Chains A and B, each alone.
Chain A
């Protein structure tokens, strides 16, 4: 099967971790992308985008001072956005459903849970090429149509309702937990000795 000519794309990688940027760059280069730019956070990404045309962003979530979520919101809704429609693939260690929904509501195009793989990144790029989603504007949202189930969450749904505090601070550990704590400490000690 013949793939797309990805060498014509300009991709901006936004991540505060240099190793992760380097890994994503390696994948993109191997897929044939020739114009790859890097930014260390959201604000840096906007600066890069003001200087050059970007066709696609691969952005991490957790970054400072501007994280990937704020970057996406800025791109979608700010009057100063360099491109309201630019596709954003959000790369994150968050796998909980609530977090994925949060990314969707900020306007990300595709969500990708870490660890990153060549297959998952390639598949999302192809999906953006072949299945572009319309954009929707409502009173409180502007971004890709959220009705399409494009954001699979990977991993168990362990969400606790916001504000719920099932573990009251100061509650003592149960007998089972105390036994597990002791075994864990012993295991760590034995690792330190070896």
Chain B
């Protein structure tokens, strides 16, 4: 960082386009055939991932963090961060591996935690329900939109988090 510049000074740099030089002059935009090939390969790779096996231990850790919010109140901020990080990672993966409900509920939880540095009994109940719902989804391998059960569950949780 250049700390000796006059206040408000802006230097604009045009670095060489190394990537363009690397890929060469030929080509323009996206090649639809290449894109179709990549989408097909990705779909195949997604099917091979056992998302519940990966997610369940993480959700068990999340449930433990929720319990610690009450039993270790002095370190609530730490446990809230742990909870956020676990669920944030899962919400990122859920949509890619056939579990969009995990993304949907995980997003509810992350939004619910935004701006909170401490929680009381009521909030812990809400957080526990969100984590329990995600655990139930992966335990029952509720893929896709989860059908009627999944939709009702999400609608209830959305009312709960407001």
B28 is contacted by which of A1, A56, A77, A165 (Cβ under 8 Å)?
A1
Q: Check if A148 is an interface residue, CB within 8 A of chain B.
A: no
Inter-subunit contact A142/B1 (CB<8 Å): yes
Residues of B within 8 A of A155 (CB): 107
Inter-subunit contact A118/B91 (CB<8 Å): no
The complex places the Cα of A3 from the Cα of B28 at a distance, in Å, of: 6
Q: Tell me what chain B mostly uses at the interface: helix, strand, loop, or mixed.
A: helix
Q: Check if A194 is an interface residue, CB within 8 A of chain B.
A: yes
Interface string of B121-146 (1 = CB under 8 A from A): 11101100100110011011010000
A4 is contacted by which of B23, B54, B116, B160 (Cβ under 8 Å)?
B23
Residues of B within 8 A of A119 (CB): 30, 35, 39
Residues of A within 8 A of B117 (CB): 165
Residues of A within 8 A of B121 (CB): 170
Q: Which of B13-65 contact A (CB under 8 A)?
A: 13-15, 17-20, 22-24, 26-32, 34-35, 37-42, 45-46, 49, 51, 54
Inter-subunit contact A2/B115 (CB<8 Å): no
Residues of B within 8 A of A96 (CB): 111, 114
Given A119-B39, A171-B120, A179-B159: 6 more A-B contacts, CB < 8 Å = A2-B28, A3-B27, A95-B107, A137-B13, A139-B1, A187-B133
